[in-house]
Amino acid sequence: MADKGRLWSAEYIMVLFSMLCNGMAGMMTVPLVAKYAIQTGADLTVASAVAGLMSLVALIICPFAGALCDRCSRKRILIFANFGYGCSLALHSVCTVLPALVLIRLITGVFFSVCTVANVAYSSSYIPNQRMGEGLGYVGLTTIVAQALGPSLGLELQEKGGFGLTFAVAGCFAVVCMISVILMPYQSSTVSEVKRKKTCLKDLYAVQFTVFMLMAVLLSSAGGLISTYLAIIADIRKIAGITVFFTLYSVFAVAFRPFTGRILDNRGIFHILIPAFLCTGMCMFFIGISETLLFITIASFFGALGQGSGLPSIQAHCVKSVSKEMAGVATSTVMIGQNVGNAIAPVIGSFFIKPFGYGAAFCGFGLAAAAAGISLVLIQMNRNRKNGKSVSE
């Protein structure tokens, strides 16, 4: 457990490893689900909807998962959820018709939502308070690294061994996460008073983080569009080696994380978010105009500075702003935004892609996301000033 300001303990490193395995379990399949659905007979819009089903279910489940994590043993929750997550991912391989695929995506979404909330709430117990922003930033980075490496690994496995092999390996990652959680020492940080209280609205949703939740919607929408459509864009435009985007995205995100974590702890969230939204817009723009791998490489750089830095920082800031006993509801509130973006962006995007094409859709979203994101940052800064807070809070 965290003590004396020490961050890089053996337990914390083990936490990062288990969180990375959990992230890899899902992200390996993200770029494949739409293609798999098309193979079962779905059109582009239906396939996009199927790809977003898991996040849509998570949107409903996350608030209750947050309340559960603040009242029960987070270790037991993670063990159970990862076991179910691994089994449901592996079962994708036997879903050869669209109704079966839809059903398994719904089931997977339940376990996915519990895992994503419990991961952050659980890991906060291993981080000293004075380094919470940095520590949770690295936890968030495991998701970003999984988003970068998982699709690459999934695409490689699918090309070499088919969809079945990819889904089976994804399930194994979740099981590895479960085993690592079992082996780790853990003392619950929830208190008896919280356990005894009846669940009410404030236990399901942290209203004070609404603007940050909306920022997460924008940033995760960019990630959802990229994960769903980048491989399809590469096929249409004959861009070979598209997985380099995810690899470089991961490298850049890892390189930037120490700096953004310290900025968050020392100067505050807003010094990160304005550049993050500008860079997210640039990432989408370069993907939109890309005809060669060079522009894809440039996009990966801006993506790592954008959503790669913004989302973990938002999550870390919100959890840092509450007690460890309430880390679950803070996490689930941000997760609502992430799930909204992941669920609806690919579907809405499909309606713009059909008449306008991928280029205009991606460039248009990049401009809209940058403008809307910076507007939300200014709104939150103004709220802080009215409440007597500094821009670092």
Taking the CA atoms of 246, 247, 248 and 253 in sequence, report the sign of the dihedral they define. positive
pLDDT computed for residue 375 by the predictor: 95
CA angle 275, 277, 280 (to 5 degrees): 110
pLDDT computed for residue 192 by the predictor: 41
Q: For residues 342 and 266, what is the distance between their CA atoms, to the nearest angstrom?
A: 31
Kindly report, residue by residue over 176-220, the tens digit of the pLDDT.
Answer: 999 998 988 876 554 443 444 555 566 678 888 999 999 999 999
Helix residue ranges per DSSP H, the chain: 10-27, 30-39, 44-69, 74-91, 98-123, 132-183, 192-196, 201-204, 210-237, 244-266, 270-289, 293-305, 307-320, 327-386
- Phi-psi category of 100—alpha, beta or left, where left has phi over 0 and alpha has psi -120 to 50? alpha
Kindly report, residue by residue over 4-21, the tens digit of the pLDDT.
Answer: 567 788 888 888 899 899
The pTM score is: 0.74
pLDDT computed for residue 378 by the predictor: 94
Long-range (24+ apart) CB contacts under 8 A made by 370-374 are 370/277, 370/278, 370/280, 370/281, 372/218, 373/215, 373/218, 373/219, 373/273, 373/276, 373/277, 373/280, 374/274, 374/277, 374/278
Instruction: Average the pLDDT over each of 253-257, 324-328, 362-366 and give the range with the smallest value.
Output: 324-328
Q: Which of 308, 363, 329, 325 is nearest to 201 (CA)?
A: 329
State the CB neighbour count (10 A cutoff) for residue 73: 15
Q: Tell me the residue type at 191.
A: V
pLDDT computed for residue 300 by the predictor: 93
Q: What is the mean pLDDT of residues 315-335?
A: 79
Kindly report, residue by residue over 53-79, the tens digit of the pLDDT.
Answer: 777 787 788 778 777 877 778 888 989
Instruction: Please provide the average confidence, as pLDDT, over all residues in the chain.
Output: 83
Q: For residues 205 and 332, what is the distance between their CA atoms, to the nearest angstrom?
A: 7
**281 Cβ neighbours under 8 A, 6+ residues apart:** 306, 366, 367, 369, 370
Q: What is the mean pLDDT of residues 272-284?
A: 95
Kindly report, residue by residue over 147-178, the tens digit of the pLDDT.
Answer: 767 877 888 888 888 888 899 999 999 999 99
Question: 293, 302 in Cβ contact below 8 A?
Answer: no
State the CB neighbour count (10 A cutoff) for residue 269: 27
